Structures are given as structure tokens and as C-alpha cells.
Structure 1
């Protein structure tokens, strides 16, 4: 979807689309459809960037997805909110890592490792 089209969506519509695309990404990961996974990653990123561009940086609304039944939704929402609420996002990422729900638990563990080593500037 083009940036212009994303601008026409409400915050609630973006959150719903974000969750739907993350679920599609999770399904594509299970089917080992890497090309589709990569495409969805870009679309999910674009939604987060649209929220960031809105007055007051609206990415905070993605925190409503913390605790979602789908681990990929939770992980993507937490990663997108790291720059605006580091503590809450890190807790969510830690919970995903601790869940042992793979592959998201592995991705969450790697994110924590990077935060603790090379990416401490996000704190």
C-alpha cells in the first residue's frame, strides 16, 4: 500500500491491519514462504512508520497488541514500540522469549541480546 493510502487510514485501522499482516507473516513463516515473509515485513514496517509520522508519534497504540494470542503480532508490536516505551516493550519481548514459542521466542531472545550489547542507544 502506498504511503498516501496509509495516511487515509485511522489509527484503529492501522492497528487492525498491523495485526492481520503479522498473522499472515506468522503463517508464511510456518509454510517457509520466505519471499512472502519479506514482503510482509516491509508492509508492517510501513504501518509503523505511518504511525510514527502522525502528530505525537502514534506508535504507542501498538501496545494494545501486547498480550495478543499470536506471538508474531506481539513481537512486531513490541519491536515497533521500543523507541517510545523501552521498558514496556522490553518486558513484552522478554515474555515472548520466556514463552519458548518458537520461532518468535528465538527472535525475541536475539532482540534482547542485541539490545544488551550493540543497540543500547534505544534505552
Structure 2
């Protein structure tokens, strides 16, 4: 039996959520949980056993960089990989320097997206 990997996706755009759900639907080991605000994402990250977090950078209440900083400084002793997922391709280097495990650019390249998720979760 395969272990379940809990993945949190923090995103305010319903269309982007559907794209990620569709991309991951062929990975039965992945349990995708979504949050539509940064505050909700932080709460879920602190209250749940997660294996990966995917963050939109531009959220209505708090940006992805602030969420990353908050989680890294929290008592969770955060070792969960955190991927930035943004339409701002020019910020890739900034995102990696800020501490994101990876920085993926919208629109989604589905094969690359799935490959990165599988690699970080060590799924065959």
C-alpha cells in the first residue's frame, strides 16, 4: 500500500486550483488540500501533517514570500518543501534565494509540474 502524501495548495484563483487538481489526479498517493487565502494556508500548514506546500505568490491578504517567512520562523520547525507557483517568471531567482524549494511558473507545464511534485515527494 502506498503512503498518502498531503499537499497543500494555497491559491485564490479557482481556475488555477482546477489545473493543479487535474495535474495531480493521476497520483493516487497525493491528497490535495486547498486554501484560498494566505491566512487559511498558514493555519492549515501549522495544524496539518503536510509533505509539500505549493504557494501562489499573489494572494489577496498576504503574499507568498510573507507566508514562506512566517512558516520558516514558526514553531513548526519547518522542513516541508515549499514551491512557489507564480505567473511572475522574472522572480524565479528571487524566489529561490528567499528559500523556496522550487519556483514554478504559470501557465503550467503539466509534465514538469508533476515531475517536480513526484520528485519532492519521492513518488515513483
TM-score (norm 1): 0.34
Task: Name whichever structure is richer in helix by fraction.
Answer: 1
Larger Rg: 1 or 2?
1
